[in-house]
Structure 1
Amino acid sequence: MTAVDERGMTRYFEELEPPEGVKVELLRGVIVMMASPGIVHNMIVADVQDQIPRQRWSRLQTQDVDIVDEASEPVPDLVVLARDLLPDSGRLLPCQLLTMVVEVVSKSSIHQDYVVKRSIYAAGQIPAYLILDPIMAHCVLLTNPAGQGEDADYRRQEIIKFGDPLPLEILGLELDTNEFGTFPGVRPHRYP
């Protein structure tokens, strides 16, 4: 049996064909599989996407992202980039083109969204990472990425409760969070 390093796992991941309805990501050499999201999750993503003006921004759901110097190909719930930077084709969107990534927390993605992806997106120098959490009914906006690899992090963190306006200065807008749904009866977690 041959050992596979993180870069070898990337090649294996590219050839993987997941079953229908399964979301698959490569996070620091680990293949993570999740069931398709539910209605609350999808409605939050749609609500955010609808509030970001299409004339200025490309808003793509479940787009594979290439993180420089990482054995990672995350698939954020939403990526936002300037319309004039969107490539004509391709599976992997280079992280250098992105202005913001958005993840909606699910019961099974808490650790990945708050810890693993936070570090990965910061390592990719993505200017803003927005975590929308229907378990805790709040938004976590992370900006000012710094560092490399697993030590990378965002230097600024702002927490806004669902129902309060969320200023997204990087996009030149204020996000209305009044319609964001929550997961009732789910045990609270300890993040961020």
Structure 2
Amino acid sequence: MWRPTEMTAVDERGMTRYFEELEPPEGVRVELLRGEIVMMASPDLVHNMIVEDVLDQIPRKRWSRLQTQDVDIVDEASEPVPDLVVLRRDALPGSGRLLPSGLMTLVVEVVSKTSVIRDYTIKRSIYAAGRVPAYLIVDPIMAQCVLFTVPTGDRDDADYQGQLTVKFGDPLPLDILGIELDTTDFGTFTGVRPHRYP
């Protein structure tokens, strides 16, 4: 007897295999999010400058800071590519395309004009399902940072219990890294419609 859940599992495994062999055009970033392939154009300058600013504030002697690293989420048909991944230097594996989510301390996504829903809902659940201890969204549309902590639940029901929102210009305590993030110089998008997330 056919069961929808069995078919979905087969489809997701097949999509994961297809995704691994996919070669996107130059300048296109590709992620697998719960069985769906998502393609994005290269990021905006504001986006890239924020990523650089965050990276520069995380001490390299203690933390590995990786940009656009493919992430492996256990028991998920997902291979997100966060804007920044932070993990202890002694936790960094020697090689491999996929970085296991269990090794990560912090994941950072900078919201683009088209990624709002993915960053605030789908990726929030995916990173929580992967037990990433802290997920930071830097949002140049709303000029705010949202830090999610304490992942709970599994798969589609996974989420973070802790949430801290800080406006650009105010310091953001990143206790998990032992630093306070200066958000003063984070740029914003102009002429973009505000949203209601988180």
Q: Quick one: distance in 2 between partners of 1:122 and 1:38?
A: 27
Overall identity of the aligned pairs, in %: 78
Return the TM-score normalized by structure 2. 0.95
CA RMSD of aligned residues (A): 1.2
The equivalent residue for 1:170 is: 176
Note the C-alpha offset of 1:190.
Answer: 1.3
Note the C-alpha offset of 1:132.
Answer: 0.2
CA offsets per residue over residues 122-156 of structure 1, 9 Å max, x none?
00000000000000000000000000011000001
Q: Find the partner of 2:89 among 83, 92, 112.
A: 83
Helix, strand or coil at the partner of 2:85? strand
Gaps of 5+ in 2: 1-7
Matched, 1:73 2:79: yes
Matched, 1:98 2:104: yes
The equivalent residue for 1:19 is: 25
Helix, strand or coil at the partner of 2:176? helix
CA offsets per residue over residues 66-88 of structure 1, 9 Å max, x none?
00000000000000000001111
Matched, 1:37 2:43: yes
Note the C-alpha offset of 1:54.
Answer: 0.2
Note the C-alpha offset of 1:115.
Answer: 0.3
Note the C-alpha offset of 1:25.
Answer: 0.1
Q: Quick one: distance in 2 between partners of 1:142 and 1:81?
A: 16
> Partner letter of residue 46 of structure 1?
E
> Partner letter of residue 5 of structure 1?
D
Note the C-alpha offset of 1:164.
Answer: 0.2
Q: Quick one: distance in 2 between partners of 1:138 and 1:28?
A: 27
Q: Find the partner of 2:14 among 8, 13, 32.
A: 8
The equivalent residue for 1:156 is: 162
Q: Quick one: distance in 2 between partners of 1:134 and 1:150?
A: 27
Q: Quick one: distance in 1 between partners of 2:43 and 2:55?
A: 16
Return the TM-score normalized by structure 1. 0.98
> Partner letter of residue 141 of structure 2?
I
The equivalent residue for 1:47 is: 53
> Partner letter of residue 92 of structure 1?
L
Note the C-alpha offset of 1:38.
Answer: 1.0
Gaps of 5+ in 1: none
